[in-house]
A and B are shown apart, each in its own frame.
Chain A
Amino acid sequence: MSTHTLYKNARLLDPASRLDIKGELLTHKKKIVSLGEKVDAPEDAEIIDLKGKCLCPGLIDMRVFVGIPGADYKDTILNTGEAAAAGGVTTVCVQPNTDPIIDSIPHIEYLAIRAKNALVNFVPMPAATKQMEGKQMSEIGLMAAAGHKIFGDCSTTIENAAIMSRIFKYASAYDALIVQHLSESNLSKNGCMNAGDLATRLGLPGIPTAAETLVLERDVRLLKGTKGRYHASQVTCADSIEVLKKAKSDDLNVTAGVAVPHLSLNEYAIEDYRTFMKLSPPLRDEDDRVAVVEALKDGTIDVIVSGHDPEDPESKRVPFEQAEPGVVGLETLLSVSLEMHHNGSLDLLTILSKLTSNPAKIMGLESGVLKEGAPADLCIFDLNVPYFVDAEKMVSITKNTCFDGKPVQGRVLKTVVAGKCVYEYNA
């Protein structure tokens, strides 16, 4: 059998080069060989006719949780891989809050063994501090030397300013990226949704946007004078965007992400105590949502993540205050992001850049682009097909999506990782 595959009649979309043409793409084994309006393919190449459908680099999701307590670890990783593949995601950045916590080389290796048979690439983000306690730096140097360059305590904010300052300085020597979760613990304590009149009406303790912006402002201040690289994991409000803009104009090495729910929903989705709408950071008000979409457009926010976080029913079928935050999102990452294309907020290539080339650049990956020699990690999708999100049809074992029943437009048809088809949509 041929080791070449030719994707023809494709709408080739490469955000990095802002390519959007009708053409062909040839892969050989694990790599992309060539692309263009017409490419030369060996005679025995397998030919896949995309009939005008879109082909873009496989999606890269910088915020994915695996291994929830109570679920089988192995199955969870494999299932996460299946869910990713179904969402056109070819690389997931695994958050370290597994049991045990990923904060050293043996744990990274353990994850690698567990993820060996997974359908997509698993890139770990080891914790920046040991046991994610925010007290003692994890072995950033050793892990960086082994090729791991992204560190962060995922859902825990590194609160101690002295520790954070040292982490920035130390990590800069190894070109390591520090990812921060923005939530000041005193202001967000007991809080479970955005502070404001809706929280007041529902009688739920609120988390003010200041809890987020405060940490971002402090970190930016600490970053100055170091050569550190910093990534704000999720920003959700207009105030934070102002801080980011200033930091970027000061030429600091700062990037930022946003999760899909914060782009598509506001706090009113919670009405009636819907625990599937409980997130950390929480859904904000409509003004903040609009500001975040605008910040994606003007480049202040670099990355869109799913924040995929499987929670079993027992963590969600409880009163709102007691519910665990988090939603699954790998399978809806692309289709819900495309909403911004269909409603005219953002152009298609800009949206895709936040899902492919930008995270690749930040994470130092070779994927995320369509070019000669790049990994053949591909996402093929129908841009226009409308349908309703159906939690029951999801591959993910847990169904805690905040988009169940949502009308969306755009569906992943095929996902390719290292030249191998890992997902194909069956109507």
Chain B
Amino acid sequence: MSLFPHPHLLAIEGLKEAEITQILDLADEYVEQNRRTNKKKDLLSGLTQINLFFENSTRTRMSFELAGKRLGADVINMSTSTSSIKKGETLIDTASTLNAMRPDLLVVRHGSSGAVKLLSRKVDCAVLNAGDGKHEHPTQALLDALTIRRRKGRLARLTVAICGDVLHSRVARSNIHLLNIMGARVRLIGPPTLIPAGAERLGAEVFYNMEEGLKGCDIVMMLRLQTERMHGGYFPSVSEYFSLYGLDYEKLKNAKEDAMIMHPGPMNRGVEIDAAVADDLTRSAIQEQVEMGVAVRMACLDLLTRGKREGEAS
């Protein structure tokens, strides 16, 4: 059993190619397990996993919950609406309180960039970042990578276009890092107001024209337009946005014939993606991404507890 060299999974930035490959290889095994009738293992039996979500989430939280349960961990969900965070408790106090309950895994989502890292310094268990502000969402990038690798056989030398609201997207940031580490070419496509400053220096080519940007792409990753994070007009109207940056068959023609379409969900049909394209099972990998999500998270939970489990066994 090979060990994972990091105590937490907080970001893709800083991971090495071999470490990402290690996660993806293990996740491949869990995909098989998840397709069997008996999906459960007792690998994490006796371990406690707390899902601490300061931001609303259904799919990511459920995916982590399922991942933990399928590995035999005791999983507890805690969301801000029912907790004392609403009563003004600070993040660090919350961390200390939870830490005293001796969890083995903390899965944390928070609305502020860097908050999960801050929390990880105050606890003794493994922390998984389930999304922090506009910073990173590492398991999303990993599940995207697994989806691509299974369909295309590799990540290196593929051209991947990440389209839409890059500015507000932690998914985009994690994906840019991961794809660069794995040797893929990254393009960012969106209106200038939604492409963050200095994006080129993260290792991406920037296009403001979608047709041009899609040319020759193997993968088209759409991002959700995060209107809830927008204060003040970033673009004139949804219809202009859809017409210029919404993915439809017409624009898709510019990409490679077998280009695969991805979306982290939830989708805004008719805003960033045309309904017909989204539902086209030959082109779209959106359902597959959800399936890969559970497997990737199982791999992460497994890897991050290996040191501890090995230590107790010996």
A319 to B114, CA, bound (A): 6
B211 in the interface (beta carbon within 8 A): no
B270 at the interface (CB under 8 A from A): no
**Contact bitstring A69-108, B, C-beta under 8 A = 1, else 0:** 0000000000000000000000000000000000000000
Q: Which of B115, B118, B202 lies in contact with A200, CB distance below 8 A? A: B202
| Beta-carbon contact of A204 and B134 below 8 Å | yes
B199 contacts A319, CB within 8 Å? no
The winner among B113, B199, B231 for most chain A CB atoms within 10 A is B113
Closest residue of chain A to B132 (Cβ to Cβ) is A203
Q: B91, B136, B200: which contacts A203 (Cβ < 8 A)?
A: B136
Top-10 shortest CB links A-B:
A197-B198, A203-B135, A273-B114, A203-B134, A319-B112, A203-B113, A319-B115, A200-B196, A197-B201, A321-B112
Once the chains are docked, how many angstroms separate the CA of A193 from the CA of B115?
16
* A173 lies within 8 A of chain B by Cβ: no
Contact with B along A141-159 (1 / 0, CB 8 A): 0000000000000000000
B101 interface contact, C-beta 8 A: no
CB contact between B113 and one of A186, A318, A321 (< 8 Å): that residue: A321
- Collect the chain A residues with CB atoms within 8 Å of residue B202's CB: 197, 200-201
Interface residues of A in 200-256 (CB under 8 A from B): 200-206, 208
The number of residues on chain B lying at the interface, defined by a beta carbon within 8 Å of a beta carbon of chain A, is 27
Which among B91, B117, B170, B197 is the interface contact of A195 at CB below 8 angstroms? B197
Decide yes or no: A273 and B117 within 8 Å by CB, A201-B173, A317-B90 being known contacts: yes
CB pair A317–B13 under 8 Å, yes or no, is no
How far is B231's CA from A186's CA once the two chains are assembled, in angstroms? Answer: 10
Number of A-B residue pairs, CB cutoff 8 Å, is 75
How many residues of A sit at the interface, in one of the four size bands?
20 to 34
B residues less than 8 Å from A199 (CB atoms): 196-198
- CB pair A200 B198 closer than 8 Å: yes
A314 at the interface (CB under 8 A from B): yes
Ordered by A's residue number, 28 sampled pairs between the chains whose C-beta atoms are within 8 Å are A190-B231, A196-B197, A196-B198, A197-B198, A197-B202, A199-B197, A200-B198, A200-B199, A200-B202, A201-B173, A202-B113, A203-B113, A203-B135, A203-B136, A204-B133, A205-B134, A208-B197, A273-B117, A273-B118, A314-B90, A317-B90, A318-B92, A318-B118, A319-B112, A319-B113, A321-B112, A321-B114, A322-B112
B-chain residues with CB within 8 Å of residue A189 when the two chains form the complex: 231
Known contacts A189-B231, A190-B231, A273-B118; A319 and B135 CB within 8 A of each other: no
Nearest A residue (CB) for B134: A203
Minimal beta-carbon separation of A408 from chain B (angstroms) = 27
Interface presence of B297 (CB below 8 A) = no
Q: Is A287 an interface position by the 8 A CB rule?
A: no
